[in-house]
Every structure is written in structure tokens, then in C-alpha cells.
Structure 1
């Protein structure tokens, strides 16, 4: 996984966690849901990058 894309995924997950926690603490359902969505986007980005890495390993290197 490229370091840049990995960092993007982790940042998105962290941003989502902060929004979700803040939403829960303040009773703001909209912010909580938005946070969950941001976390999910980060999870999908991370999974896609891991899939790319697996394909590279299967092919025997980086192309």
C-alpha cells in the first residue's frame, strides 16, 4: 500500500471517528452518521489498497 494512500485512509478513518464520537457526545445524530460514513470511506480505501498490494505480491513484484 502506498504510504500516501495509506495515510489518506487512516486520516479519513480518524476524522470519521472524531465526528462520530462528537455526535454521540452532543446528541447530534447527523454528525454521528456523517462520522460513520467517513470511517466507512476510509475502510473502503484501505481495503482497496490492500487488494492492490495482494495483486502485486501475487504477480511477483511491483509493476
Structure 2
């Protein structure tokens, strides 16, 4: 795992918490903010996945 994967997962967790709090309190703005954080986290994680895949590919002997 690289730092982008870790930070992406952390951002997704923060987003899920924000979304849940928003739903529980009826705060639509908080809920939408949580959804956006989750999307940003997923994007960052996928970028990390790509970096990891490239790194793994370049390491393997041919």
C-alpha cells in the first residue's frame, strides 16, 4: 500500500462519518459534504492503486 491508497481510504472513512452524522441530524449539507469526501477518497485510492500497479509491473523481471 502506498500513501495515496491510505489517504484515500482515510478520506472515505471521514466522508462516511460526515454522511452518517448528516443523516442522523437531518443536515442535508453535511450529508452532501460526506458524499463528496467519499468520492474524493475513492479517487485518491484509485490513483494509488494505479501507482502501485505500475510499480509492481516495473519490478517484475522479464
Give TM-score, length-normalised by structure 2: 0.83
Aligned residues: 59
List structure 1 runs of 4+ shifted beyond 4 angstroms: none
Structure 1 distance, partners of 2:10, 2:45, is 11
RMSD between superposed Cα atoms in Å: 1.2
Show structure 2 runs of 5+ residues with no match. none
Deviations 1:1-58 (A, max 9, x none): 31x3333112111110000001111111100000000011110000000011111222
Give TM-score, length-normalised by structure 1: 0.82
Show structure 1 runs of 5+ residues with no match. none
